[in-house]
Amino acid sequence: MRHFTIHHDGVTLPVSRGGRGRPLVLCPGLNSTQADLHELTGLLRRDHDVVTFDLRGHGLASAAGRYGFDAFLSDLAAVPAGLDLPSAPLLVGYSLGADLVVHHASARPGSVAGLVLIDGANPLPEPFITEADLADFRAMAQDLAARHGAGPAAGAAHRVALTAQDIHALNLEMDVVRSGILDRYRKIDCPVTMIMSTSIAGDGTEGRAPRHNRLWRAGVERLLRDRPRISASWLDADHRLPFTHAADIARIIRNAHPPSREPTS
């Protein structure tokens, strides 16, 4: 294992690299860190030269003055640019990280070997957050900020510096990003694998969960009609699937993108 930092745009990003085989860059999502994804990372390192990192304001990365989608996208771009990878990497993104890797790959034809999208980058046919959902999402943002902001018992590697306002604003921005992400898919020239949860909003039968779960599936079905060569797998899980179904995710990745014998740089 190697640990180092990348400096860009006034922030410091901690990077970890280990394993052997084809290069793979794993991008966490909003309110998740590379330390949170340790089980999945360990499984992927059996077959890949895995690079993990923290987005600004997450884990051991420094805080920043801005936390919009474009700022996080610049963090992702800085990681492979700052490494001496032996070949184009497989990019794996979770939640917000999935949207980031789609945007990154669509802007850089030929630079990515493949994409794996874990419960994100969904071209939703309508906004996920309606006026009726705003109060619930504000409350969720406040809860997330309170739970992660002070540094949980596991330590600073799991902390998140974003405020409740930052988290809520980014959730609203993601609806806008995903409304146009179908055009991004049309510019991608590498294989794409989706691993999606059947119950992103939980398995409740009342409140917002049924609509959000239907909308999540409808977005993927919309994408597959437009881009039938994309493969999609569904796991009987909620949005925490990297933490509850890491072995299933690693197996799907291994089958969709068979390991190579490429040596680690």
Q: Is the pLDDT of residue 154 over 60?
A: no
Number of neighbouring beta carbons within 10 Å of residue 10: 10
CA-CA distance, 221 to 132, in Å (whole number)? 25
Mean pLDDT value of segment 232-253: 98
Task: Give residue 264's pLDDT.
Answer: 47
Q: How does pLDDT run across 54-84, given as a tens digit for each residue?
A: 999 999 999 999 999 999 999 999 999 999 9
The pair of structure tokens assigned to 237 is 């899980």
CB-count burial class (<10 Å; 0-12, 13-18, 19+) for 160: buried
Q: Is the pLDDT of residue 261 over 70?
A: no
Report all structural domains of the chain as residue ranges with CATH numbers, in order of start.
Answer: 2-256 (3.40.50.1820)
Whole-number percent of the chain with pLDDT over 70: 96
- What is this structure's pTM? 0.95
